[in-house]
Amino acid sequence: MATTSLKLPDDIKSQAVSAAKGLGISPHAFMVEAIRQAATAAKQREQFVAQAKAAHKSMLKTGTGLDTDEVHAYLRQRVAGKSATVPKARPWQS
């Protein structure tokens, strides 16, 4: 395991220590987990942006896309635990 020195402003260090104490873990464990979560979130965002760029490129190439209202209705149904028909791509260019 690599050792890293991290200089924190006093207020952030105090918040981390307090939060760790409330969770019943060491400040070190708290900070390691916080960094792990931030790194995971950054990677997920990177993947999301890559997927969005690929979808945009495909949309421009094919001239088809999903209707926003249909997608929102589909998602509302799924979140409510109901079955829903997946929206179909349709031409958006004339």
**Domain count for the chain:** 2
Tell me, yes or no, whether 44 and 14 share the same domain: yes
The answer as to whether 36 is a domain residue is yes
> What stretch of H or E contains 13?
helix 10-23
Angle between helical axes of 10-23 and 27-62 (0-180°, round to 10): 100
What range defines the domain where residue 49 resides? 10-62
Tell me, yes or no, whether 51 and 18 share the same domain: yes
Tell me, yes or no, whether 91 and 49 share the same domain: no
Task: Give the three-class secondary structure for 84.
Answer: coil
CA distance 52 to 11: 38
The answer as to whether 15 is a domain residue is yes
pLDDT tens digit sequence for 49-73:
999 999 999 999 999 999 999 999 9
- 90: CB partners within 8 A, 6+ apart: 64, 65, 66, 67
Which pTM does this prediction carry? Answer: 0.72
The answer as to whether 83 is a domain residue is yes
pLDDT tens digit sequence for 4-57:
999 999 999 999 999 999 999 999 999 999 999 999 999 999 999 999 999 999
Tell me, yes or no, whether 18 and 56 share the same domain: yes
